[in-house]
Amino acid sequence: MKKNLLFSMFAILALLLAACSGGSAATAPDASGGSTESKADDVLVAEAFRSLLYLPMYVGKSEGVFEKNNINITNIRSAGTGPTALASVLSGEAQFSIHGPEHVGFAKEKGGDAKAVSAVANSAPVWMLASEDVKYDSPADLKGKKIIVGLAPGTSNTLLKRLLKDNNLEIGKDVEVTEVQNGSELGPVLAGEADIAVPYQPQVEQGLAQGLKLIHNFTEDYPEYAFSTANTSQKMIEKNPDLVKRFVKSLNETFELMRSKPEVAKEVAKKEFPELEASVVEDAVQRMIDSGVYREDAEVTEDAFKTAIDMQKFVGNIEKDMNYEDIVDSQFFAQ
């Protein structure tokens, strides 16, 4: 009788302790004798747009890297713009967003509290292509040329204008520049109506496959450039820092996977962009790995951040300074 009473008391005590746990995820022993959460966190990611530049997210999801770190990516949803993607995070609809870090600064100016927590695409992923008969040894050779570039204030447009200004070339006087919708830069050059195109990937590889030549590589001009970052709300950082840590850890591991096994990254890219020729996708992914667009790790360096913000200042999108510490939360990089 006493044994039964004692057992009942222990059972009640165990129930009370479980109730006091606050409804946290159940745990189970792991191989090392510790514990792992049995229920993964569901995460919605809002991306600015669908792009090969965001391939690390797709690879991490496809290859189970996030899942291994107890994160279930329910969807990677294209929002259409950076501000719209970040708005999803600030409203609590999405947990993370993918876009340029400057949008975190713009949101802060309007009262939105968010931080960039990981790199996604680094360096300046823009190249210049020309027809075979175009002579180009240095930017000075752009004088007298007809150049096709995406609409302002896109990064390709900004990089071209910065290159021209740095080499004392004036648009309309020394160089003729025509702006077109992103993705349609190659047409006029292939038709012989212009000399040079300034595209992103995969248009770079498409142009090369059609006989154009690469004449300028902006990733060499700006090897450290925070082109896009993973971002979350300050509320999420304070409420669930472990989730943010595991999310950044997943991206770290994905970058390592992409560099050690580029063939895996290429296969995922081909599945994500089936409308593109397989060879074009493979070449685009390899070039971005080789050019440092896909970093070795998830760190957003101060140099990369400064370059991105300085470029936004140059184009007139930013008037006030944006400080690294105000925009980037670096506590999750070292893991």
Three-state SS letters, 39-72: CCEEEEEEECCCCHHHHHHHHHHHCCHHHHCCEE
Please tell us whether the domain made up of 127-221 is placed in CATH 3.10.450.710.
no
171-180 pLDDT, tens digit per residue, is: 999 999 999 9
Alpha-carbon 318 to chain mean position: 21
Q: What is the pLDDT of residue 47?
A: 98
Q: What is the pLDDT of residue 321?
A: 85
Determine which helix (DSSP H) or strand (DSSP E) holds 177, and give its type and residue range. Answer: strand 176-180
Q: Angle at the Cα of 154 (from 148 to 157), degrees rounded to 5?
A: 35
Q: 240, 132 in Cβ contact below 8 A?
A: no
Residues of the chain with pLDDT below 70 are 1-38, 335
Residue type for position 293 = V
In angstroms, the CA 164 to CA 144 distance is 12
| Burial class, 265, CB count within 10 angstroms (exposed 0-12 / middle 13-18 / buried 19+) | buried
Q: What is the pLDDT of residue 317?
A: 86
Q: What is the pLDDT of residue 335?
A: 62
Q: Could you tell me where in the chain the CATH 3.40.190.10 domains are found?
A: 40-123+224-332, 127-221
Q: The pTM is what? A: 0.86
Distances from the Cα of 157 to the Cα of 152, 216, 218, angstroms: 6, 14, 12
Q: What is the pLDDT of residue 196?
A: 98
User: Which of 3.40.50.620, 3.40.50.1360, 3.40.190.10, 3.40.640.10 would CATH assign to domain 40-123+224-332?
Assistant: 3.40.190.10
